[in-house]
Structure 1
């Protein structure tokens, strides 16, 4: 039997599936617009966007428009005011309810099912071929808001009511804003958890630090950190390498206050760091200063965003409060 390269092998028991066509447009051709510096994509990554809610997708231009969002609600990008896709008659006409489908989740499932199965196949192949690292797969659903940003090539008339077209959407850059209003989280804690018969435990403060490695220029070291016992510093909890996404499906949910992102990714957990490497990273993390006045909650002294040996450099930081049921 002739040799088959690993990247051309098929999963046993089932042929490779073809990804489903993405309604409106497939963002696969727009990789550069949606790449982020700490997330990798494969040659097989499926990127798609579609709207959910309208009973007749052909009436997009007459029933959907862009709504500008205030800078106070969402952080602006390069000084450009973000736009959100909304139903033009939302809350204004009782009859518009006839234009919205009653079970949008069924449409979501139908649009992503084949893509999920295909991405699982690619993810399984990656795990089978992994040698030096442990690959951790995950499927994540996030609620937030899909934001669109215009460009100089898009005229203002293209963003007006009744003129929104597929061509306009293709020219626009987009991002997924994961912040949700405090009222949303209060509702989840007070109502949803109660209906499930669960209760929240005390929140855990987590800090995320992304480091570039001068010896591995294509790798990003992701550090998950917790607050030290003295509450004056953070300490290293876990180290991971690049996150690789195999599928990203962004959905604008018309008639609802939140949009949805569904993605499949893998993380390679580093298994063989030397004591010297670990200590260099730990020292860099420990030099951070807790500061509630900055958005991320931590900062470094000026000119101190690199490790003592100069190998690791801080590129991005983040902060979340994790709560468990």
Structure 2
């Protein structure tokens, strides 16, 4: 009997869900319950001084606490992920008042003031890791929707934020993506820099359970995967989540460090390449790659646990880079997959400025305000 991968098998009892783990084991610190440790399910590594914040932006202003007028309502789309049969919830404001464009712009300028101090502090702490471990810092804004999981919908004012199970979904609806391509890209002087199609294969080793090696590759003429880059899982230094309760999108401002591969021996690199060489491109399976039976792991201890097929378009202007990509992801361990449209704004000029010595805070605040002015346009 031929081998059938787990994600293509049919259940004998269609009414019974697959016994798989949650796709994201969210951990918060401080008011978000993030913890400065590795998330073993998703290989998320937090720095020792990880900073996390969450606040709401709406027509009533910027709020650190949840207003009584804000409610949790079920997501209407059937395509979103449920947990244990529970549909996610989103925040909705029932007390809206019409505001001018100037009022909205002023409010987003206040967002810059709210995150500036934490951002500068996060860079100061991250600089040490850059010098000691050859990390490469990157500051990005991601767009999506913050989902909450709770037993019942309704008012949330009586709930503290630390008790809300929160997940940031990076999937952008088609209508928002169309707005970004047709309105935001031309109005902010973006031009296409490049288009690329890649595969990312995440592998782990039993001797290093808290580390992920992200192997990026392209397809050769013979249909095989050719690895051109290998990196360790990124380290998160700061995450600021902004619930835009009057908009269809939320925003995450994130400072993370990409880690170069410096510890692998030639033998280990060769072992990983051999593992990737056994993959076959198959557009009919989730993630776009499949392995022969029992070949998704090597004799030396490396094992594939996630694959992702990416089609990306990169735009750029004088100060920013914009990445729009379609992703087809499959997790080998949990048996879950997802197809998403993702939009990431890379704040390259601010990132460079904040790594300088003796930076002027006024300059940082101005650059941050300018960037958030652009980010605001993504929300319309």
Q: Sort the TM-score into its range (normalised by shorter chain).
A: 0.7 to 0.9
Aligned residue in 2 for 1:102: 104
Deviates more, 1:109-118 or 1:64-73: 64-73
The 5-angstrom pairing of residues 57-206 of structure 1 reads 57=63, 60-70=66-76, 72-89=78-95, 95-97=97-99, 102-103=104-105, 104-130=107-133, 134-150=134-150, 156=152, 159-160=153-154, 163-165=155-157, 167-200=159-192, 203-206=195-198
CA distance, structure 2, for counterparts of residue 249 and residue 229 of structure 1: 43
The normalised TM-score by structure 1 is 0.77
Alpha-carbon deviations, 1:72-103, whole Å to 9, x = none?
2322233221111122256xxxx4549x9523
Q: 8 Å contact 2:72–2:91 — kept in the other structure?
A: yes
Structure 1 residue 122: deviation in Å? 1.0
When the two chains are superposed, the root-mean-square deviation of aligned CA atoms in Å is 2.9
CA distance, structure 1, for counterparts of residue 294 and residue 311 of structure 2: 28
What residue ranges of structure 2 are gaps of 5+ in the alignment? Answer: 1-28, 316-380
Alpha-carbon deviations, 1:225-276, whole Å to 9, x = none?
222234x332212111131111111111121111001111112111353332
Aligned residue in 2 for 1:227: 219
Deviates more, 1:165-174 or 1:197-206: 197-206
Structure 1 residue 60: deviation in Å? 4.0
Alpha-carbon deviations, 1:277-298, whole Å to 9, x = none?
2221112122223232334222
Aligned residue in 1 for 2:306: 316
CA distance, structure 2, for counterparts of residue 80 and residue 168 of structure 1: 20
The normalised TM-score by structure 2 is 0.67
Task: Tell me the SS of whatever aligns to 2:247.
Answer: coil
Q: 8 Å contact 1:89–1:96 — kept in the other structure?
A: no
Aligned residue in 2 for 1:5: none
Alpha-carbon deviations, 1:158-212, whole Å to 9, x = none?
x31xx31262533221111111123333333333333344443663112222111
Q: 8 Å contact 2:36–2:49 — kept in the other structure?
A: no
Change (3 A) 1:34 1:269: closer
CA distance, structure 2, for counterparts of residue 26 and residue 101 of structure 1: 31
Q: How many residues align?
A: 283
What residue ranges of structure 1 are gaps of 5+ in the alignment? Answer: 1-24
Q: 8 Å contact 1:33–1:173 — kept in the other structure?
A: no
Alpha-carbon deviations, 1:54-81, whole Å to 9, x = none?
3274994432111211452322233221
Aligned residue in 1 for 2:31: 27
CA distance, structure 2, for counterparts of residue 66 and residue 101 of structure 1: 26
The structure with the largest strand share of the pair is 2
